[in-house]
A and B are shown apart, each in its own frame.
Chain A
Amino acid sequence: MQYQLTDATLVANNETVAVVADSISFTEGLGERTVRGASVGGGRVEQVSGDNLETKISSLKFQLPSTPDNVALARSWKVNNPLNVFHVAGSAGGKDMTRTFTQASVVNDYEVEVGSEGNISIEVKSNAAI
């Protein structure tokens, strides 16, 4: 039996951040690989593949509740681009998962929703997660 990862801690620049539940997602930054078939005649093909190095960066997305503190926090990350470090740690069923995103930049011009359930959606790009 396995357990779904449903809860994770987000640490940004050494500070634990309270995020909207179920809002964290990330990519490993291992990159995309292109695979093509090259014709060798006779209806046969030979596989030609290569890594798309442009995609070897990680993406981290999450949402913050729209509070004055979080608005200030998001702005501080944006100003600190690309010198942020984000760390995601979670555990389920007694097993741990951690990923660290170094040289991270907040890439989106995030929108601050004002309202009782307003959020700030943050999108980060960084070195490949370690």
Chain B
Amino acid sequence: MKSDEKSEIDYHLTTPVSYSHGGEKAEAQFIRLTAPTSRHSRECAALKQAFFRSCPQDREANPDAEIGEVAGHDVIVTIASSRDVSLPDVIDVARKLFTSGVAMVDGEVKLTQHLIDAMSQDDLEGMVGDYMVGFTLASSLEKMRERSSPGSRT
């Protein structure tokens, strides 16, 4: 991992979720997302492929177009706008990934199926987008940015 790559990011929930911790009920404020390992390669590959399949076709026509900062929301909008990629399938893959141990509620409790069911749809989609930008697409986006930056062109 490069030194500038993060090993974890916090996704702050817009709608708090109730969960159990230490024998009491608590309100979750954020989900700590940790970098995937090769154990998650199938899910990560599926997410990566979904994004690149959904990238606008005009990118091929104009490969030199500069790529700016990409936010998680942009990734979800790109996938949702695609005719070739199913957003529900992407969300299903991401749910499987998140409940496999890479997501911790308030950084302490494993995100379970029950808890992810309780999350709002906006938060779930936002978390998927942030995870993709932060981890599964990070190196690819960085390479694309390097190639598209004015200094790299001859």
Binding site for B on A (CB under 8 A): 11, 13-16, 82-85, 87, 100, 102-104
Question: Given A13-B20, A14-B19, A85-B20, does the pair A100, B112 have CB atoms closer than 8 Å?
Answer: no
B60 CB within 8 Å of chain A: no
In the assembled complex, 6 residue pairs joining A and B whose CB atoms fall closer than 8 Å, in A order, are A13-B20, A14-B112, A85-B24, A102-B20, A102-B24, A104-B23
The chain B residue sitting closest to A13, CB to CB, is B20
> In the complex the two chains form, what is the Cα distance from A87 to B26 in whole Å?
13
The chain A residue sitting closest to B117, CB to CB, is A16
Residues of chain B contacted by A103 (CB below 8 angstroms):
23-24
> In the complex the two chains form, what is the Cα distance from A15 to B109 in whole Å?
11
B22 CB within 8 Å of chain A: yes
> In the complex the two chains form, what is the Cα distance from A48 to B113 in whole Å?
51
Residues of chain A contacted by B13 (CB below 8 angstroms):
none
Of the candidates A14, A82, A85, the one having the most CB atoms from chain B within 10 angstroms of its own CB is A14
